[in-house]
Structure 1
């Protein structure tokens, strides 16, 4: 197949239609929907530098173990050596493993044509917004769409953080709540439309097709937490026991009406967003808090009406929740029965797709590009740098 010859490192290019995000060490990895991955040096968060672009036809998801980047390329899984980020190279390919398709379309309608890239420039700003906890706020520096990424080298997840932890063992990075890839011990887990796929990566440079587990249909996201896997689908949340990483076992299903469904978990509570949209035939736009203290019998704690919730992240007790074109909302979730009474802020006039909180830094993705914030005080966010769509250095 001709496309299998085209995975290669190229010179940096501007963001055009950014998709999912991933962070490891000083580097940021930004998916360009269906085209490949931008590698960005973020050792100085106020001045991120584009290093290279990896041309990966059909790419939608990312995971990194040590110096190996894993990515989907249409039906294949590719392993890429990124020890020299400027000269990334394919080192292994597992063919025809994603037969039902992985990619969910991300931020964009994939039927749209992709236009040309404009002149490449980066604009750096520092701006402060003070938030009144009693009111919804719409600070004028938030553009219509946005995305922030953190320098994880200088941060560590706080005990309260719930942002798709890529767990245990080797040196892994961090994904968002919309991810279909997850790392745990010697395995890479991926979810397709109806299956959980296991790859043995005990030797990171040589991923091996290991096993498949049939789940259902409409599978969308995967979130590893402690010894369990929480898998979001269009009809519910599946919980898998993962004490033996080679043999995940289904414990239960928390069902809901048809709606798109990412999930994050903190301690005994799963936070699930349900939304309507082009690919999500349904009428629910809400945040569900689910008691998973008994993972074999999850119980709904309470549902909260939202506008169009997408990705979410928790740095307990602060929940960051993306509302698509309606912006970003912050909640204090200490009172699980009164989340709606403790909305801390609402940043409007922006499009928010997915978010990751990493201690003192906030990561946000939207259609306008790449944004990075100091969130050491969530009610006093400071914009560190931004790379709008169409610009790079």
Structure 2
């Protein structure tokens, strides 16, 4: 009897060990392959084309009923969104090395690897290049891969991203490895035509007599007064746009490493970095001055602000490393001494948007969450929409714009407890969804 019991326990333990040793997991990885482009190829590659489908969408931007969606490193989709229930693809502006954008009046500013390019978009059927500020961005990052310019050889060293799905053997208790793929990086699941962009609608934060568009929390470009502000991984580069069609390089300010996003609020700039949130006084728009830094663990952290509260999301599983997934509410009533009020656990938060008291948080592969943020010490979740990927959002009154790896979604949030889907523009990706 005792021998039988020992045999049974031995078999049971062997089974448990087998589970630990032989777990299988299917994962999707980003695999980087070096590529080289000539500067001439990039500068001659800009062209207005017929509409195309979404494949690898990035940032979103909106102005006067138009929606712009970045196709990472490829260009910008222009969409007529006057009827949110039926958006219409209008054109595609091919811009090699594009990741960010901003609009002042009828002028679109977009990065093209090392250059800033200004476009006349007053006629969306005939978008044309106006001016170019050359060699102002020496390097950058797209989708986890870095690029840099070699001015001596007139080339750009970049990385082509391919998505590879593998079934790997893992330890059941440790599933955060890269599956033994040395050149891979674990995929962070993440962002009739009107002819005139100009309207009487004015940008909420711009004192200059002009109209600006609206970007999301993941933006690296923003506008204030007579300046365009752009942030790289380490610097803030200003451009004088008193004459919108002719941007001029302005001051360049070192911010430290790991800079990710920029969010303007009134006459202040809130800059998200991997190690914290920087606050800059922008009362002199030509020369922003650092006021303080709210520090946190090394993670990605976009930020939005309403009155004396800043809302910061921290996430793991990204190039920022770290293992923190949470929302932080920060008291910024004293801009020289920001202090943490409360943290709320999240799954894998990305971009966020505030239309007080409504707070929207993208949870990456876990969808979208809506909250009532009226009380900073008791933020209540109202709804969780899952089954899709959410990267960034822009709340516009009662309409919510959302971008993710699955495509573009538009919701009516008149009832923030039950969002109503208005429309969707899906992606047609050549790689499998995770």
Same-fold status (TM-score > 0.5): yes
User: 2-side partners of 1:156 and 1:85: how far apart?
Assistant: 19
The answer to whether structure 1 residue 338 and structure 2 residue 387 are counterparts is no
**TM-score normalised by structure 1 residue count:** 0.84
- 2:341 is aligned, of 298, 301, 309, to 301
User: 2-side partners of 1:154 and 1:67: how far apart?
Assistant: 10
C-alpha displacement of 1:376? 1.5
Question: Which secondary structure does the structure 2 equivalent of 1:365 belong to?
Answer: strand
C-alpha displacement of 1:30? 0.7
* Partner of residue 56, structure 1: 95
* Partner of residue 314, structure 1: 354
The answer to whether structure 1 residue 382 and structure 2 residue 431 are counterparts is no
Which aligned runs of 4 or more in structure 1 are off by greater than 6 angstroms? 152-157
Question: Which secondary structure does the structure 2 equivalent of 1:101 belong to?
Answer: strand
- 1:263 is aligned, of 293, 303, 306, to 303
Q: Choose between structure 1 and 2 for higher RCO, CA contacts under 8 A separated by at least 6 residues.
A: 1
The answer to whether structure 1 residue 216 and structure 2 residue 265 are counterparts is no
User: 2-side partners of 1:208 and 1:27: how far apart?
Assistant: 26
C-alpha displacement of 1:111? 4.4
The answer to whether structure 1 residue 181 and structure 2 residue 221 are counterparts is yes
Aligned length: 347
CA contact (8 A) 1:166 1:182 kept: no
Question: Which secondary structure does the structure 2 equivalent of 1:216 belong to?
Answer: coil
Question: Which secondary structure does the structure 1 equivalent of 2:109 belong to?
Answer: strand
Larger-Rg structure: 2
C-alpha displacement of 1:194? 0.4
CA contact (8 A) 1:156 1:359 kept: no
- 2:243 is aligned, of 200, 203, 222, to 203
User: 2-side partners of 1:6 and 1:289: how far apart?
Assistant: 44
C-alpha displacement of 1:175? 0.1
> Structure 2 matches for 1:9-48, cutoff 5 A?
9-48=48-87
The answer to whether structure 1 residue 112 and structure 2 residue 161 are counterparts is yes
C-alpha displacement of 1:238? 0.3
C-alpha displacement of 1:112? 2.8
User: 2-side partners of 1:77 and 1:333: how far apart?
Assistant: 37
* Partner of residue 293, structure 2: 253
CA contact (8 A) 2:201 2:211 kept: no
CA contact (8 A) 1:102 1:191 kept: no
Offset from partner CA, 1:262-303 (integer Å, 9 cap, x none): 000000010001101231211111111111111011111111
User: 2-side partners of 1:92 and 1:335: how far apart?
Assistant: 47
Question: Which secondary structure does the structure 1 equivalent of 2:139 belong to?
Answer: coil
Question: Which secondary structure does the structure 1 equivalent of 2:85 belong to?
Answer: coil
Cα 1:153–1:99, aligned 2, differ >3 Å: closer, same or farther? closer
* Partner of residue 274, structure 2: 234
Question: Which secondary structure does the structure 2 equivalent of 1:51 belong to?
Answer: strand
C-alpha displacement of 1:198? 0.3
Mark the runs of 5 or more structure 1 residues left unpaired by the alignment.
116-144, 158-163
- 2:312 is aligned, of 272, 280, 299, to 272
C-alpha displacement of 1:105? 4.8
Cα 1:28–1:288, aligned 2, differ >3 Å: closer, same or farther? same
Please identify, of 272-281 and 29-38, the stretch whose mean Cα deviation from structure 2 is larger.
Answer: 272-281
Offset from partner CA, 1:101-146 (integer Å, 9 cap, x none): 264659xxx743499xxxxxxxxxxxxxxxxxxxxxxxxxxxxx99
Offset from partner CA, 1:316-372 (integer Å, 9 cap, x none): 111101111111111111221122xx2111112221111111111011111111221
> Structure 2 matches for 1:89-104, cutoff 5 A?
89-101=128-140, 103=142
User: 2-side partners of 1:255 and 1:285: how far apart?
Assistant: 15
Question: Which secondary structure does the structure 1 equivalent of 2:125 belong to?
Answer: helix
C-alpha displacement of 1:156? 7.8
Cα 1:62–1:154, aligned 2, differ >3 Å: closer, same or farther? same
Root-mean-square deviation (Å)? 2.4
Higher relative strand content: 2
User: 2-side partners of 1:59 and 1:318: how far apart?
Assistant: 31
C-alpha displacement of 1:168? 3.3
C-alpha displacement of 1:240? 0.2
* Partner of residue 360, structure 1: 398
CA contact (8 A) 1:326 1:348 kept: yes
